Amino acid sequence: MTEEFYHKDIFGNVVDIDLGEVEEDEKPILDRKGREFNIFSFTDALGARNKREAWTLYQKALAAGVSAEEVFFKVAWQIKTMLVAKRTKSAEEADMKAYPYSKAKGFLKNFKPGELEKLSEEIVIGYHQARRGRGEIETFVEKTLLRL
């Protein structure tokens, strides 16, 4: 492709785009009252296995404009972090920062042996079913939280 191609839009109009100066718009997610929503309070409730708090924070996240898919990936991240912490002896071995590693290690006491593995399997299967049109991700996340 020629350089000229990259300077025209689909209608042939010449546009100047400088891709070197693209900035991420990192605005905090605000709830309806204008307060910043902290997604890590949600992951802490999930790790603590507090289904009422996790569900309430899930609803607040949705109200603040966080997509259900983004919340799903936070759920998956928390479960993965706990599984890694379960199988390692230190944060260095897990290639993680000390704080999230120690929190994940502390959350392990809230789950019986085999429960995290089963939960991990269920969220992977449920996510793919939702992506294939066999359900909605919003409902799936909610059901997962209520089954904690």
pLDDT of 28: 55
For residues 11 and 94, the model is more confident at 94
CB 36 within 8 A of CB 28: yes
pLDDT of 7: 61
* Gap between the Cα atoms of 111 and 100, Å rounded: 17
Which of 28-32, 100-104, 115-119, 133-137 has the weakest average pLDDT? Answer: 28-32
* Gap between the Cα atoms of 75 and 40, Å rounded: 10
Three-state DSSP state, 14: strand
pTM of the predicted structure, to 2 decimals: 0.74
Domains observed in the chain = 27-146 (1.20.272.10)
pLDDT, tens only, 37-88: 788 999 999 999 999 999 999 999 998 889 999 999 999 999 999 999 999 9
Residue 8 β-bridge partners: 14
pLDDT of 5: 47
Give pairs for 54-58: CB < 8 Å, separation 24+.
Answer: 54/145, 54/148, 55/142, 55/145, 55/146, 58/141, 58/142, 58/145
Burial class (CB in 10 A: 0-12, 13-18, 19+), 120: middle
Q: Is the pLDDT of residue 17 over 60?
A: no
